């Protein structure tokens, strides 16, 4: 008759199988993720996200503009330096109005944009699985004062504050592609990983594999 294994050995065998299965599945997931985009969506550069936020803000302001949609609008942005993407976004958001930067005799309205706060921030650095890439939560934000005035009389017709933000998760290794080093609006400091993630996690992983190997030979003997 076949000799029954002790219960303790069978339990160890089950534990070993679970540990090895979890380890191998984690490795397979991380390898497949590194071979291509995990969810098929490539994160937008921060400057493109800021332009999209400006488009949303322009669409919010557009209904407050008096007159028909064929009227010409002069756009003013403060600060004017390195904010061309905000200008492009508001021009698209105010469509179908014709928006110009150099006001001429046909521009009856002035839309003034005063940027209060704009940029990006990173938080919550962690790893995507035991052997996964480091990822971070990115927040892109824009806050601006918007005023609409009659260029002829100088009368203030509308004033509001627009506040837009967007959050997503990106890989730390991709930040060099998502940022524009020459534009401080698009850059931010990456916070350090916690001690557990940066130091203890690899040691625990290696230790778990070593214990699994020892148990394998112990059970077989």
pLDDT, one tens digit per residue, over 129-170 is 767 889 999 999 999 999 999 998 999 999 999 999 999 999
pLDDT in tens, 60-109: 999 999 988 888 999 999 999 999 999 999 999 999 999 998 877 788 89
pLDDT in tens, 189-211: 999 876 444 445 555 555 556 55
Q: Give the per-residue pLDDT at 193.
A: 77
pLDDT of residue 124 exceeding 60: yes
Token pair 């990115």 is at which residue? 138
Q: Give the per-residue pLDDT at 7.
A: 47
Q: Give the per-residue pLDDT at 77.
A: 96
Q: Give the per-residue pLDDT at 96.
A: 92
pLDDT of residue 212 exceeding 80: no
- Domains of the chain with bracketed CATH: 1-41+194-221 (no CATH), 42-190 (3.30.160)
Which of the residue ranges 31-40, 42-51, 132-141 would you say has the lowest mean pLDDT?
A: 31-40
Kindly state the greatest CA–CA separation across the chain.
Answer: 105
**pTM for the complete prediction?**
0.73
């Amino acid at each position: 008759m076949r000799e029954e294994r002790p219960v303790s050995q069978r339990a160890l065998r089950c534990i070993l199988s679970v540990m090895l299965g979890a380890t191998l599945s984690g490795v397979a997931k991380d390898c497949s993720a590194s071979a291509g985009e995990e969810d098929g969506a490539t994160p937008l550069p921060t400057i493109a996200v800021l332009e999209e936020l400006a488009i949303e803000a322009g669409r919010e302001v557009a209904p407050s503009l008096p007159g028909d949609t064929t009227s010409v609008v002069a756009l003013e942005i403060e600060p004017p330096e390195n904010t061309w993407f905000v200008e492009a976004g508001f021009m698209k958001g105010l469509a179908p109005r014709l928006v110009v930067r150099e006001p001429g005799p046909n521009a009856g309205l002035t839309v003034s944009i005063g940027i209060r706060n704009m940029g990006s921030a990173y938080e919550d650095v962690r790893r995507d699985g035991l052997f996964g890439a480091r990822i971070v939560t990115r927040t892109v934000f824009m806050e601006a004062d918007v005023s609409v005035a009659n260029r002829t009389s100088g009368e203030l017709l509308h004033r509001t504050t627009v506040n837009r933000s967007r959050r997503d998760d990106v890989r730390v290794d991709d930040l060099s592609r998502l940022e524009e080093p020459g534009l401080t609006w698009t850059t931010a400091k990456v916070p350090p990983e916690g001690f557990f993630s940066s130091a203890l996690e690899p040691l625990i992983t290696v230790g778990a594999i070593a214990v699994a190997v020892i148990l394998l030979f112990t059970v077989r003997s």
